[in-house]
Amino acid sequence: MKKTGLLNSEISSVISKMGHTDGLAIGDCGLPIPEETKRIDLALIKDIPSFIATLKVVLTELQVEEVELAKETAAVSPLLFEEIKKEIGDVKITFITHEELKDKLKECKAVIRTGEQTPYANIILRSGVVF
């Protein structure tokens, strides 16, 4: 049994196989996930697990050099946007439209579906390198 860190085997497996600039998305329970993209479904009930709790755990395992967020996030869900900024620290944020974000899910290694029900609680994490 794994002793520490991320216990979800699917997420851990995806992260271990990621290379520089590969994408991993975390989304709310309403985010449409393309059929061709791996879905890691954590959603249990409304807001469990939350988007932020999931992001925090993933950030303990994945080296991130950039995140992509929908422009709409800051305007529609400003509290969530502030929490995201707090969690990612000085990581570069690239703003795209929500439609562009949904289209880019096709290129992601996986999408982690949470129980979150806050509008625009979606992010693409771009893998960095540790050297």
Percentage above 70 pLDDT, the chain: 100
**CB 77, CB 120: distance < 8 Å:** yes
Q: Tell me the fold of 14-127.
A: RbsD-like fold (3.40.1650)
Q: Which residues are annotated as a binding site for substrate?
A: 28, 98, 120-122
Q: In the chain, where are the structural domains located? A: 14-127
Tokens of 92: 């570069």
Q: Is the pLDDT of residue 4 over 90?
A: no
Mean pLDDT, range 110-118, rounded to an integer? 98
pTM: 0.96
Catalytic residue check, 20? yes
Catalytic residue among 17, 20, 56, 106: 20
